[in-house]
A and B are shown apart, each in its own frame.
Chain A
Amino acid sequence: MLEFKNVIVKLSSGDMTKPFSLVLNRGEVACICSSSIWGKTKLLHSVLGMAPSDGGYITIDGEQVVPAAADYFRQMIAYVPYQLPDVPMLVSELCDMVFGIKVNASAKLNREALQPIWQGMGIDQSWFDENITELTTTQLQLVMISMLPLLKRPIVLIDNAPQTPMVGQLMHDLASNGAEVLYTCEDNMIASDKIINF
C-alpha cells in the first residue's frame, strides 16, 4: 500500500501546494494531474527515495520512505520516467540493461518475452535495433511501459503517462494483477480510481 500523508509539492513556479493525502491500495490506478512538470517528477522521485519530500511523508506498506530504506523499496517499484535516457544506445541494449539488473535476475527476462507484448501494443519489432535517441519521447516511453508487465512489481509509477487507450488498458491490466499504479499527466484522459489535481 502506497500512502501519501500531508504531502506538499513544490511546483516549477516555486509555489507550494496545499498538503494532500492519498492511499493507493492493491488493484487501484491513481493519477496525479498538474500542468507543472517539475512537481510531479519530484513527487515520484520522493516515492522512489531519490529526492526529499517537500513536506509530509510517504509510506509503502506502512514503512516511511527514507533514504536508508529506499534501495529496498525501489526493488518493489517499476518506474517509467518522463525525462528519458538520451545516451547513444540501442533499444535492445536498454531492454537488456533493465532485464539484467540483479532484482530481475530470478525472472529470467529476455527480448523474446517482450515480443508478444509489443505485438499487443502495436509496437514495431524493428524498434529493437533503433538507437534510443532516434525514437520520439512517446515511442521510448511506450517501450519502457511495455516492460512493466514483465517486471511484475507491486507498485508501478509512470511519469507523464501517454494518454492513449492502449496505455490505459495496460495500466488497468497491471492493477487487475494486483499492482498499485500511480501515474502523472497534464490532462487526464484515462479512467482512474483516484485523481489528485494540482
Chain B
Amino acid sequence: MEITLLGFVLGMLLLVIPLYIIIALDLRQMSHFLVSLGKLLALVVLTGGITYLLIKWNSVGANILAAMVMVLVSATLTIHKANLKWGRLIVPLTSGLLISVFVIGLYVLFLVLGLKNPFDTRFFIPIFGLLTGCSIGINANALHTYYMGLHHHHQLYDYLIGNGSTHGEAVSYFTKRCFQSALTSMMRHMSAVVLLTAPVLMLAMVMSGVTIFTAMAMQVMLFVMVLAMSFGSLYITLLMSRRYTFDAYDRLRPMKPQSTTVPSSSASSVQVEVSTPQQFDYDQFSSEE
C-alpha cells in the first residue's frame, strides 16, 4: 500500500469540512486548530524522518541510541504531565523506564514475535516506541497519585516512620495507591477500545497486510506489555527515587515545580521555663535580648 503525493493532497482536502465548520459557526478556534495541525505535521515529519534514517541504517547502535532518546523523552513528558519536579525524578524514572523497556521490549521481540534479530529496526523501533509512548499517561497518573498523596497525607507516613517502620513500610499505603492508579488508567483504556476508541494498532496492521489474527493478538499484547512495562518502571522508579525525593530527615522534598516559600523567622527570644512541679523547683531562663 502506498500513498502518492496526489493521494496525500486529496486526503488533506478533507480539511475543508472542519475549516468550513470552524468559520461558519464562528468556533473561534481557528488559530488553535492551525497550531495543533502544524505541531502534528512537524512531529510526524520529525519522527518519520528519524525512523526513515534508522531503517535505512538498520544499525544496532543507532537503534539502542534511539531507544534511549525515546526513554528520556518519555520520562520528561511523564514528569511534566504529572506536574512534578523534573530534577527530582528524571534519574529514577529514566532508569526505571530504561530497564523495563529493554527487558519487556526484548522479551516481546524475542519470545512473542519470535524474531531471530530483535534489533531489526522495522520491529525494534515500533515496539520500543509503543512501550515508551503508551506508558506516559499511566506513569504520570501513578506518580502524581503517589507524590501528592505523600504530600497531602504525610501524617500517616510520619506516624509510621516515627514508630520505627522502614521507609518501605511507611510508604506502603501510597505505593499501593500508586499502582492502583496505574491499573485503573490501564483498565480504562482497555475497556474503551472498540466501544469508545478504535483499535488503531489492529486496524493499521490489517491495512498493512498482516493477518487479522496476528493483528488481534498484537492489539491485546499491546495492553499486556504496556501494563507490565508500566508496573516494572514504576517499581524501579519508586525504589530509586527515595534518594532524590526524601531528605536526610526522611521528609519528602517539595515535588511541585513551583517554588514554595518558607515563612521567615525573627531572631527575638521567648522565655523558657523548666520546672519540676512536685518540688516547685522552677529553673527559669531569662531572655537574651
Alpha-carbon gap, A19 to B272, bound state (A): 8
Instruction: Give CA–CA (A125, B287) in the complex, Å.
Output: 50
CB nearest to B166 among chain A residues: A102
- Give bound CA distance, A79 to B156, whole Å: 12
Query: B230-271, CB under 8 A of A: which get 1 and which 0?
Result: 000000000000000000111100000000000111111111
Q: In whole Å, how far is A171's beta carbon from the nearest beta carbon of chain B?
A: 14
At the interface, yes or no: A70 with Cβ under 8 Å from chain B? yes
Q: Establish whether residues A15 and B269, one from each chain, have CB atoms under 8 Å apart when the complex forms.
A: yes
Residues of A within 8 A of B (CB): 9-11, 13-22, 45, 48-52, 67, 70-71, 74-79, 81, 83-87, 89, 97-98, 100-104, 144, 151, 153, 157, 191-198
Residues A87 and B173 in contact, CB atoms below 8 Å apart: yes
Assess the B249–A74 pair: CB atoms within 8 A.
no
Report the Cα distance A76→B163, complex, angstroms.
8
Q: Which of B30-38, B192-200, B274-282 contacts A (4 or more CB under 8 A)?
A: B274-282
A-B contact pairs, 7 of them (CB 8 A): A10-B265, A14-B266, A18-B287, A85-B159, A87-B173, A97-B160, A198-B271
Whether B273 is near chain A, meaning CB under 8 Å from some CB there, is yes
Decide if A74 touches B162 in the complex (CB within 8 Å).
yes
Please tell me if the beta carbons of A51 and B249 are within 8 angstroms of each other in the complex. yes
Q: Which of B158, B164, B248, B268 contacts A16 (CB 8 A)?
A: B268
**Contact at A75–B273, with CB atoms within 8 Å?**
no
Which chain A residues lie closer than 8 Å to B285 at the CB level? 18-20
Bound together, the chains give a CA A50 to CA B159 distance in angstroms of 11
Docked complex Cα distance between A20 and B285 (Å): 8
Does B66 lie at the interface of the complex (its beta carbon under 8 Å from any beta carbon of A)? no
- Separation in Å of the A98 CB from the closest CB of chain B? 6
Given contacts A20-B285, A67-B249, A85-B156, contact A14 B265 (CB under 8 A): yes
Minimum CB–CB distance from B240 to chain A (whole Å) comes to: 19
| Nearest opposing residue in chain A for B275, CB measure | A195
Interface SS of chain B: helix, strand, loop or mixed?
Answer: loop
**Which range holds the interface residue count of chain B?**
35 or more
Given known pairs A81-B158, A86-B153, A98-B160, the reply for A22 and B251 (CB within 8 Å) is no
Chain A residues contacting B162 (CB-CB under 8 Å) are 45, 48, 50, 74, 77, 79, 81, 157
CB atoms of A102 and B169 under 8 A apart = yes
Give CA–CA (A69, B165) in the complex, Å.
14
Residue B4 interfacial (CB < 8 Å): no
Q: Is the CB of B166 within 8 A of A15?
A: no
On chain B, the residues within 8 Å of A21 by CB distance are 274
Q: For the complex, is B288 an interface residue (Cβ under 8 Å from A)? A: yes
> In the complex where A16-B265, A97-B160, A195-B277 touch, is A49 in contact with B249 (Cβ < 8 A)?
yes
Q: Residues of B contacting A16 with CB < 8 Å?
A: 265, 267-270
A26–B277 Cα distance when bound, in Å, is: 18
In the assembled complex, B208 has its CB within 8 A of some CB on chain A: no
The reply to whether the CB of B155 lies closer than 8 angstroms to some CB of chain A is: yes
Closest A-B pairs by Cβ, 3 of them: A79-B162, A197-B273, A85-B156
CA distance A75 to B24 in the complex (A): 71
Q: Is the CB of A50 within 8 A of B158?
A: yes
| B286 within 8 Å of A (CB atoms) | yes
Complex contact A18–B288 (CB within 8 A): yes
With A50-B158, A87-B156, A97-B160 in contact, is A18–B270 under 8 Å at CB?
A: yes
> A20 near B160 (CB under 8 angstroms)?
no
| CB closest chain-B residue, reference A47 | B162
